[in-house]
Amino acid sequence: MPASRPAVFLDRDGVVNRAIVRDGRPYPPASVRELEILPGVADAIGALHRAGIAVVIVTNQPDVARGTTTRGEVEAIHQQLRQELAIDAIEVCWHDDDDACDCRKPKPGLILAAARALNVDLSRSVLVGDRWKDIAAGKQTGVATVLIDYRYSEPAPPSAPAPDVVVGSLLEAMPWIVERTRNEVQMHEALRVKIFADGAEKAGMLELAAHPWIAGFTTNPTLMRKAGVSDYRTFAKEVLLAIPDRPISFEVFSDDLAEMERQACQIASWGDNVYVKIPVTNTRGEWTDGLVRRLVRDGVKLNVTALTTLGQVRRVAEALAESRSSYISVFAGRVADTGRDPVPLMAAAVEMLRPHPGLELIWASPREVLNVYQADQIGCHIITVTSDLLKKLPLYGKDLDAYSLETVRQFHEDAAAAGYTI
């Protein structure tokens, strides 16, 4: 399969063609005769297509289910759009709200279907829409979002996510789209540190597995409990079946060293890509390095976790010295929580592991996007990143004046939505 590429997902009515606005609300053209492609759209889509970016229309067309138009009329419009524009695909939801489908925006089904069909890297992609439902659908897939704001008389619900940028047309959004796509490509190609996704929500893990730059996964009982996992073994085996090609860390949960060893051997037997997480001590402060040595001799790949000091790194590295592949997780974020700068500690840990080619250092519990680049700069091998932080990675290098303006707009919109008066 060819390497994945970015895509620009376009809502149809109001983005590609002019919407029919009645009483402040947008409606689709009823037929090809009413179809009017908006100014600059053909040029914008052509430029994206020539740059190797997939162009996909994602559109709700509930009027078919409501009986006010026919599927034939909608498909005739789409045939005309294909003739006039360099479009790679058109994904359509034919349902109404009552159908409870997975494809009707604000649900993300249309975007995910196109991403699978076209081998799209969602982390490098953008959605452009003119309604809050478009933005909400995009946010659920991790793409950047652009709102073309026509100030329709349909206020978004309080829970609706804000777009990344607000513009007046697709053409106006083009410099931002092109810059963002280029920055994303550069970011992933330039980073040496491997990004492991940290979480335990199965659907989210599978979605992230579609991104080739996610190099592995980590989880733990705390995250699994938060995600509602009730059967540890079943959850782990389902994830391993779906993601067989990247390392995944699962943690023992006993406090007894002998039971830890039994659990570790069981977990390791679930797959060749399994790394077993062993805490640096148990809750009584008893070191696990003896256990670690025995597991290394048994050929178990380990992820020794919850370290916060260089003394711990040194002792664990000695216990793992004969391992052909294991990780040491230093909780740099928790170090930072105490008011200490974790960078010198992590840089020293990198040097400490240099004589051990089978060991890799994990920067665990990062708190901000900056940590990814700090980890990269000091030569840390891996950083674990939660889904919330992954969504912020595209902000790296963002123009600060533009970010300021977006912040002002968000404050203004929130105040207006709240109806505050003085």
The one catalytic residue in 107, 139, 194, 277 is 277
The span from the CA of 194 to the CA of 213, in Å, is: 8
The span from the CA of 359 to the CA of 324, in Å, is: 7
- Provide DSSP, 317-372: HHHTTT-SSEEEEE-HHHHHHTT--HHHHHHHHHHHHTT-TTEEEEE-S--SHHHH
Please check whether residue 123 is in contact with residue 211, taking contact to mean a CB–CB distance below 8 angstroms: yes
The span from the CA of 84 to the CA of 99, in Å, is: 32
What kind and span of H or E run contains 363?
strand 359-363
Active site residue 237: no
Identify which of 61, 62, 57 has the alpha carbon closest to the alpha carbon of residue 80.
Answer: 57
Identify which of 108, 132, 27, 40 has the alpha carbon closest to the alpha carbon of residue 74.
Answer: 27
Residues ≥6 apart with Cβ < 8 Å to 161: 135, 136, 139, 145
The span from the CA of 175 to the CA of 34, in Å, is: 30
Q: Write out the two tokens for 405.
A: 């303006």
Q: Find tokens 């391992």 and name the residue.
A: 323
Q: Which residues are catalytic?
A: 277
